[in-house]
Amino acid sequence: MKDLKLAFKLNGRKISTKIPPRLLLVDLLRDILNLKGTKVGCRQGECGACTVLVNGEPINSCIYPALKVAGQSVTTIEGLSQGEKLHPIQQAFLDEGAVQCGYCIPAMALTAKAFLEKNPHPDESQIREGLSGVLCRCTGYRKIVKAVQKASKN
């Protein structure tokens, strides 16, 4: 199996690397680029813990061939804050105490970011639908929804 060239934008920075063709995006991020913020849950596109943004849209990186991101722009949780300055969504999660075990939170925060950009004034049911692709097994949805509400422009 020959490695293939891959160039893309990751959290605003240009990345150029060589990877095996079978590699999935989540494994490229975690194992090769050493960004462990993206989590692996079910590995079959159900739990959403591996969510990252490709061109601003949330996708499940565990079922997404890494070579698909050639020339595209990828955002992981590591790219959400600006240095030490937290993104308003991250701050809202802190303020609301929306984090329990934390495993789903990178995915929740990224999904919320993409969702709020499209729906700046959501009601609760819209937020729940927007976040429905990420499962929280602590079942801490109430505070997560509250945090997203807080980060919205309502």
Partner 1 sequence: MEQALKDFHWGREIEIQQYLQPLTAKEALRMLAEHEGRALVIAGGTDVIPMLRQGDIEADVLVDISRLPEMGSIEFEGDLISLGGLVTHAQIASSPLIREKAGLLAEAAGTVGSPQIRNVATVAGNLVSAQPAADVTLPLLALNARVTILSPKGEREVPLTQFFPRQGRPAIDCRREILTRIRFSALQKSQGGCYLRLSLRKALALPMLAAAIVVAVDKEKRAIKEAAISLGPVAPTPFRAWKTEAGLRNAPISKATLEGAARTALEEANPRSSLLRGSTEYRKAMVKVFVKRGLSRALANAGAALAEEI
Binding residues for partner 1, rule: CB under 8 A, are 1-2, 4, 21-22, 24, 42-46, 48, 51, 57-60, 63-65, 67-68, 70, 111, 115, 129-130, 132-135
Q: How many residues does the chain have?
A: 154
β-pair type (4-10, 13-19): antiparallel
Q: 90: how many CB neighbours lie within 10 A of its CB? A: 21
Question: 70 or 94, CB closer to partner 1?
Answer: 70
Residue 51 — φ and ψ, nearest 5°?
-60, 130
Residues 6+ apart with CB under 8 A from 118: none
Question: 95 or 124, CB closer to partner 1?
Answer: 124
Q: How far is the CB of 113 from partner 1 (least distance, A)?
A: 13
Question: 43 or 150, CB closer to partner 1?
Answer: 43
Q: How far is the CB of 9 from partner 1 (least distance, A)?
A: 17
Question: 70 or 138, CB closer to partner 1?
Answer: 70
Q: How far is the CB of 83 from partner 1 (least distance, A)?
A: 28
Residue 121 — φ and ψ, nearest 5°?
-125, 65
CA 152 vs CA 76, 86, 106, 115, 145: distances in Å:
20, 15, 18, 10, 11
Q: How far is the CB of 1 from partner 1 (least distance, A)?
A: 5
